[in-house]
């Protein structure tokens, strides 16, 4: 269809009130009423219809490409709606329903308007479907993006939570590492260890790698960096929890752990640390 | 001319670096320090860098040089009070100050020097805590 020949903007303009009422009824029947109140929904729907009309009148219908600049305001509105709905706990289908539920009242109106012209009805219906589908999919996309942001934030929080530094004894710190050690995690680990060394005045830190699944050259390098930084702060490091498999890997890879005390288990490392601080455990 | 003060504490010397180092100042410090070590027969040198927010390769090398010079004069050098951020930067720059001992603060630095001296003298292990 040539641009500008569509009568949809006129029809939307003429029947805006009726469309809104029908659409609202349609939405309210499907939506979970406990999550959003009718006034908010009405306001969102009203703004959507008004924007649809003005955008189409300004030539936005040309090729139904909703990524164009003339659709910017509409995209903003939909993004806003999606984001609030994601927060309110709507499912993706429920969020997309906001746009898709407009089809029924709009098609009814079109059928009434083009009662005598089956050809035009078909064309206009097709145009409207494509447009509303694009807009509906856009809301889903934004919804998804919102969720991804939440996941990324949680990842960041996990990163911070997963590096505890514990004080085993006065002057002895332990750093149980769990999970893969990458550069960003090493940075966090290093910072929290050094801060803890300053605040506790510890002289020995035990880095336990029982929970590190694999040790490759990069992980080993990260470990050595942490050890070097702790040494600059005046604390000695012991690496413990080296499983037999990992010991073999380290040797096969030719990684040098020179100048670092390594122990198979955390208890052995703790014994060494106690010995260094001049302490001993006796039974009895 | 500005100088970095060197304080004598028993058989240890305490150097607190609080200003930006440049090469002239570093040379003066090396001169003064070696002279004082020889004069007082100092056995230990403590360099406090807790006031430094930036330690670059120049200061890193200077610390290494001082440690080496002191070793020749039979004194042990301990660098104390490095900040976490400085430590991380140095490691990222691959400057881990080899040959320089480190301690968290002056108190621990002195304890480290005492321990080393005792070890060297009698080999009887550390003193009771």
B113: which 2 tokens?
A: 């020097």
In a domain, A232, yes or no: yes
Does A14 score more than 80 pLDDT?
yes
Do residues A23 and A148 share a domain?
Answer: yes
Do residues A236 and A115 share a domain?
Answer: no
Do residues A176 and A250 share a domain?
Answer: yes
pLDDT of residue A91: 84
Give the mean pLDDT of chain B. 87
Does A177 score more than 50 pLDDT?
yes
| Residue A80 domain boundaries | 8-157
Q: Which of A191, A232, A234 shows the shortest C-beta gap to B90? A: A232
| Contact between residue A233 and residue A198 where contact means Cβ atoms under 8 Å apart | yes
Do residues A149 and A184 share a domain?
Answer: no
Does B17 score more than 80 pLDDT?
yes
Cα(A266)–Cα(B33) distance, integer angstroms: 43
Residue B82 to chain A, least CA–CA distance (Å): 6
Q: Structural domain tally of chain A?
A: 2
Do residues A135 and A173 share a domain?
Answer: no
Interface test with B, best of A184, A222, A233 (most B CBs within 10 A): A233
Q: ipTM of the assembly?
A: 0.78
Of all helices (H) and strands (E), which one includes residue A15?
none
Least Cα distance to A171 among B108, B91, B75, B26 occurs for B108
In a domain, A1, yes or no: no
Least Cα distance to A176 among A157, A158, A189, A159 occurs for A189
Does B87 score more than 80 pLDDT?
yes
Do residues A100 and A14 share a domain?
Answer: yes
Q: Which of A99, A132, A157 is the last residue of a domain?
A: A157
Least Cα distance to B115 among B70, B76, B60 occurs for B76
In a domain, A283, yes or no: no
Do residues A28 and A151 share a domain?
Answer: yes
B118: exposed, middle or buried (C-beta count within 10 Å: 0-12, 13-18, 19+)? Answer: middle
Do residues A147 and A271 share a domain?
Answer: no
Does A98 score more than 50 pLDDT?
yes
Instruction: List the single residue in B with minimal CA-CA distance to A229.
Output: B87
CATH class of the domain defined by B6-122: alpha beta
Q: Which of A139, A157, A175 is the last residue of a domain?
A: A157
* Distances in whole angstroms, Cα of residue B108 to Cα of each of A226, A241, A265, B5: 21, 29, 28, 21
* Tens-digit pLDDT profile for residues A260-276: 899 999 999 999 999 98
Does B91 score more than 70 pLDDT?
yes
A264: exposed, middle or buried (C-beta count within 10 Å: 0-12, 13-18, 19+)? Answer: middle
Q: Residues of A with CB below 8 A from B80's CB?
A: 234
Do B84 and A191 lie within an 8 Å CB cutoff? yes
* Tens-digit pLDDT profile for residues A202-259: 999 999 999 888 888 888 888 889 999 999 999 999 999 999 988 998 888 888 887 8
Do residues A29 and A128 share a domain?
Answer: yes
Please report, for chain B, the start and end positions of each structural domain, with discontinuous segments joined by +: 6-122
At A226, which CATH number? 3.30.750.24
Q: Which of A130, A157, A184 is the last residue of a domain?
A: A157
Place of tokens 């020889």: B38
Q: If pLDDT is split at 50, 70 and 90, which confidence band does A3 have?
A: very low
Do residues A221 and A145 share a domain?
Answer: no
Query: How large is the average pLDDT for residues A14-37?
Result: 82
* Tens-digit pLDDT profile for residues B57-81: 888 888 989 999 999 999 999 999 9
Where do the DSSP E strands lie in A12-60?
none
In a domain, A3, yes or no: no
Do A225 and B92 lie within an 8 Å CB cutoff? yes
Least Cα distance to B66 among B80, B51, B79, B53 occurs for B79
DSSP conformation class of B13: E
Give the mean pLDDT of chain A. 85
Cα(B101)–Cα(B108) distance, integer angstroms: 11
| Contact between residue A64 and residue A134 where contact means Cβ atoms under 8 Å apart | yes
Does A1 score more than 70 pLDDT?
no
Q: If pLDDT is split at 50, 70 and 90, which confidence band does B126 have?
A: very low
Do residues A21 and A116 share a domain?
Answer: yes
What's this model's pTM, rounded to 2 decimal places? 0.63
Do B104 and A194 lie within an 8 Å CB cutoff? no
* Distances in whole angstroms, Cα of residue A79 to Cα of each of A122, A128, A211, B18: 30, 20, 41, 54
In a domain, A95, yes or no: yes
Query: How large is the average pLDDT for residues A145-156?
Result: 85
Do A191 and B88 lie within an 8 Å CB cutoff? yes
Do A229 and B128 lie within an 8 Å CB cutoff? no
Do residues A44 and A146 share a domain?
Answer: yes
């Amino acid at each position: 269809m040539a641009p500008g020949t569509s009568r949809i903007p006129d029809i939307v303009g003429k029947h805006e009130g009726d469309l809104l009422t029908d659409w609202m009824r349609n939405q309210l029947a499907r939506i979970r009423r406990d999550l959003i109140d009718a006034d908010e929904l009405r306001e969102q729907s009203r703004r959507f219809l008004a924007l649809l009309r003005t955008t189409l009148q300004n030539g936005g219908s040309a090729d139904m490409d909703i990524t164009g600049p003339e659709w910017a305001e509409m995209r903003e509105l939909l993004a806003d709606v999606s984001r609030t709905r994601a927060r309110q706990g709507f499912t993706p289908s429920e969020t997309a329903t906001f746009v898709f539920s407009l089809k029924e009242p709009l098609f009814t109106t079109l059928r009434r308007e083009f009662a005598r012209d089956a050809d035009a009805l078909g064309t206009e219906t097709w145009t409207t479907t494509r447009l509303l589908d694009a807009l509906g999919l856009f809301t889903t996309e934004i919804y998804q993006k919102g969720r991804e942001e939440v996941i990324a934030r949680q990842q960041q929080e996990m990163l911070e939570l997963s590096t505890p530094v514990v004080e085993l004894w006065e002057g002895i710190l332990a750093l149980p590492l769990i999970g893969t050690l990458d550069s960003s995690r090493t940075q966090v680990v290093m910072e929290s260890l050094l801060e803890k060394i300053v605040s506790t005045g510890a002289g020995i830190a035990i880095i336990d790698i029982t929970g590190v699944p694999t040790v490759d050259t990069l992980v080993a390098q990260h470990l050595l960096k942490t050890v070097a930084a702790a040494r600059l702060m005046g604390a000695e490091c012991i690496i413990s929890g080296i499983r037999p498999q990992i010991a073999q890997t380290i040797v096969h890879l030719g990684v040098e752990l020179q100048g670092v005390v390594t122990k198979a288990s955390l208890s052995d490392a703790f014994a060494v640390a106690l010995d260094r601080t001049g302490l001993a455990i006796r039974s009895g | 001319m500005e100088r970095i003060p060197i304080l004598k504490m028993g058989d240890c010397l305490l150097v607190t670096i609080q200003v930006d180092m440049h090469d002239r100042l570093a040379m003066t410090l090396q001169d003064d320090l070696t002279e004082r070590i020889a004069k007082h027969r100092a056995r230990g040198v403590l360099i406090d860098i807790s006031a430094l927010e930036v330690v670059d390769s120049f200061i890193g090398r200077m610390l290494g040089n001082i440690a080496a010079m002191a070793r020749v004069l039979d004194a042990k050098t301990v660098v104390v009070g490095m900040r976490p951020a400085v430590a991380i930067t140095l490691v990222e720059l691959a400057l881990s100050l080899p040959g320089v001992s480190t301690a968290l603060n002056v108190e621990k630095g002195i304890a480290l020097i005492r321990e080393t001296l005792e070890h060297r003298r009698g080999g009887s292990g550390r003193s009771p805590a």
